[in-house]
């Protein structure tokens, strides 16, 4: 069973007897809300190589069982992937309130990780604010913005220099994350960051990931509206619709 199959299998029991209330696939983000609370937010995955994407008339998401939607995460259709991962995160957001993962919550992983001027960091995905915050604290930040296999250096070549790796959760949508495990194995600290991060530390227990940094929804009604209006993450944060939440995996 690969990592993505494990993600589906772990979420399916939590999805039983839950139905989708409503879905919006916005230009920037996709949002799924369950009938009995629970909301999931992810980036909308677009694949330009496939041209204009349209779901067939037979495909529906509103008012159908959540477990049926979750299984579509293993499909090859970008829109189905986005909706399915948002549904996975919606069911995890519900279970998170009720289980022992609350003990894993921390204020900020970057306040726990000690960095020195001789340290080097890897960023897979460019986080401008974070880059500006960390660049004065370390010797070098290596940045891979797109396909990590196309750059003029390999992660394995610099791995022994690295104290920390920061990875975009968008790789959960493109399903590029599992390919990285061997590349980053041995790096002391690994943070996966972004709205796609599921609030379930167990899924990452046997991976190099040490911290999760995701977002918790505070105002689902206004957030749904802004996703429909093609607003972005900065808009959600400034309006207080979501807040950062960090978990220690190990």
Cα–Cα distance between 116 and 135 in angstroms, integer? Answer: 11
Res 131: pLDDT:
94
State the number of CA atoms in the 13 A half-sphere of 98 facing the CB: 7
Q: DSSP strand E in 7-158: where?
A: 20-25, 29-34, 39-43, 105-106, 120-124, 140-144
> Of how many residues is the chain composed?
250
What are the structure tokens assigned to 47, written together?
């694949």
Per DSSP, the three-state class of 177 is: coil
The CATH class of the 103-217+239-248 domain is alpha beta
Query: What CATH topology corresponds to 3-101?
Result: Enolase-like; domain 1 (3.30.390)
**CATH topology match: 3-101 vs 103-217+239-248:** no
Domain ranges across the chain: 3-101, 103-217+239-248
Q: Provide the 3-class DSSP secondary structure of residue 37.
A: coil
Give the global pTM: 0.90
Whose structure tokens read 């293993």? Answer: 74
Residue tagged 């549904």 (tokens): 87
Distance between CA atoms of 232 and 117, rounded to whole angstroms?
34
pLDDT tens over the chain, length 250 residues = 899 999 999 999 999 999 999 999 999 999 999 997 889 999 998 765 555 566 666 667 788 999 999 999 998 888 899 999 999 999 998 777 656 556 678 888 998 999 999 999 999 999 999 999 999 999 999 998 765 444 556 787 888 999 999 999 999 999 989 988 988 999 999 999 999 999 888 899 899 999 999 998 999 999 999 999 999 999 999 999 999 999 999 7
Report yes or no: 129 and 85 within 8 Å, Cβ to Cβ: no
For residue 236, give every residue at least 6 positions away whose Cβ sits within 8 Å of its Cβ, in sequence order, or none: 215, 223, 226, 242
CA 231, 237, 241, 244 dihedral sign is positive
User: What residues pair up with 212 in beta bridges, in sequence order?
Assistant: 192, 247
Q: What are the distances in angstroms from CA 237 to CA 78, 108, 129, 234?
A: 26, 16, 14, 5
For strand 162-168 and strand 140-144, is the pairing parallel, antiparallel, or unpaired? unpaired
Q: How far apart (Å, rounded) are the C-alpha atoms in residues 208 and 211?
A: 9
| pLDDT score of 148 | 46
DSSP string, 65-107: BHHHHHGGGGSS-HHHHHHHHHHHHHHHHHHHTTSGGGGGEES
State how far the Cα of 166 lies from the Cα of 184, in Å rounded to an integer.
Answer: 10
């Amino acid at each position: 069973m690969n990592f993505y199959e494990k993600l589906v299998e772990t979420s399916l029991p939590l999805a039983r007897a839950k139905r989708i209330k409503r879905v919006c696939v916005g230009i920037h983000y996709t949002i799924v809300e369950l009938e009995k609370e629970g909301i999931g937010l992810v980036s909308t995955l677009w694949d330009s190589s496939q041209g204009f994407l349209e779901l067939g008339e037979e495909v529906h998401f509103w008012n159908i069982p959540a477990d049926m939607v979750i299984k579509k995460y293993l499909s090859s259709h970008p829109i189905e992937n986005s909706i399915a991962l948002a549904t996975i995160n919606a069911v995890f957001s519900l279970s998170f309130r009720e289980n022992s993962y609350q003990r894993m919550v921390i204020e900020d992983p970057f306040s726990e990780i000690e960095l020195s001027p001789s340290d080097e960091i890897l960023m897979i995905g460019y986080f401008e604010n974070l880059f500006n915050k960390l660049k004065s604290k370390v010797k070098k930040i290596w940045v891979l913005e797109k396909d990590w296999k196309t750059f003029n250096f390999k992660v394995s070549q610099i791995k022994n220099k690295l104290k920390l790796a920061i990875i975009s959760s968008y790789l959960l949508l493109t399903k590029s994350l599992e390919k990285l495990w061997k590349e980053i194995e041995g790096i002391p600290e690994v943070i996966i960051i972004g709205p796609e991060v599921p609030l379930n530390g167990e899924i990452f227990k046997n991976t190099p990931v040490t911290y999760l940094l995701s977002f918790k929804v505070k105002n689902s009604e206004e957030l749904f509206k802004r996703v429909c209006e093609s607003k972005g993450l900065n808009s959600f944060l400034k309006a207080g619709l979501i807040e950062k939440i960090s978990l220690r995996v190990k």
